[in-house]
Amino acid sequence: MNLWEALQEGKRLLSPVSDEPGVDAELLLRHVLHFDRGQLYRRLTEPLDSQFEEPYRSLLGRRAAHEPTPYIIGRKEFFALDFEVTPAAIIARPETEALVEEAIAFVRDHQADQVVAIADIGTGCGAIAVTLACLLPSAQLIAIDASGEALTLARRNAVNHPSAQPIRFLQGDLLEPIDPPLDLILANLPYIPTAQWEQLPPEIREHEPRQGLDGGPDGLRQIARLLALAPPYLAEGGGVILEVGDEQGSAATTLALEAFPDSQVRIEKDLAGLDRVLVIRT
Report the C-alpha gap between 275 and 277 in whole angstroms: 7
pTM (2 d.p.): 0.94
Answer whether 123's CB lies under 8 Å from 144's CB.
yes
Predicted local distance difference test score (pLDDT) of residue 113: 66
Which of 3, 95, 93, 15 is closest to 41 using CA atoms? Answer: 3
pLDDT in tens, 234-276: 999 999 999 999 999 999 999 999 999 999 999 999 888 999 9
CA-derived radius of gyration, the chain: 20
Which residues 6+ apart lie within 8 Å of 207 measured at CB?
Answer: 66, 67, 68, 71, 87
Other C-beta atoms closer than 10 Å to the C-beta of 10 total: 25
- What local confidence, expressed as pLDDT, does residue 118 receive? 97
Cβ within 8 Å of residue 91, ≥6 positions away: 68, 70, 71, 76, 85, 125, 208
d(CA 142, CA 122): 11
Q: How far out from the chain centre does Cα 231 lie?
A: 25
Tell me which DSSP letter residue 92 carries. P
Residue boundaries of the structural domains of the chain: 3-65, 88-281
User: Identity (one letter) of the amino acid at 180?
Assistant: P
Class of domain 88-281: alpha beta
Phi and psi based region of residue 235 (left: phi greater than 0; alpha: psi -120 to 50; beta: remaining): beta
**Distance, CA of 72 to CA of 65 (rounded, Å):** 11
Dmax of the chain from CA atoms?
A: 66
Give the number of other CB atoms < 10 A from CB of residue 34. Answer: 8
> Which CATH class for the 3-65 domain?
mainly alpha
pLDDT value, residue 172: 97
Query: Residue 111 and residue 183: Cα distance in Å, rounded?
Result: 10
pLDDT tens digit string along 16-34? 999 999 999 999 999 999 9
* The pLDDT value given to residue 96: 96
pLDDT of residue 112: 59
Beginning with the edge strand found earlier in the chain, give each strand of the sheet holding 182-187 in spatial order.
167-171, 139-145, 116-121, 182-187, 234-243, 275-281, 264-269
Low-confidence ranges of the chain (pLDDT < 70): 111-113
Task: List C-alpha distances in Å: 249 to 27, 94, 227, 244.
Answer: 35, 19, 14, 7
> Residue 109's pLDDT is what?
85
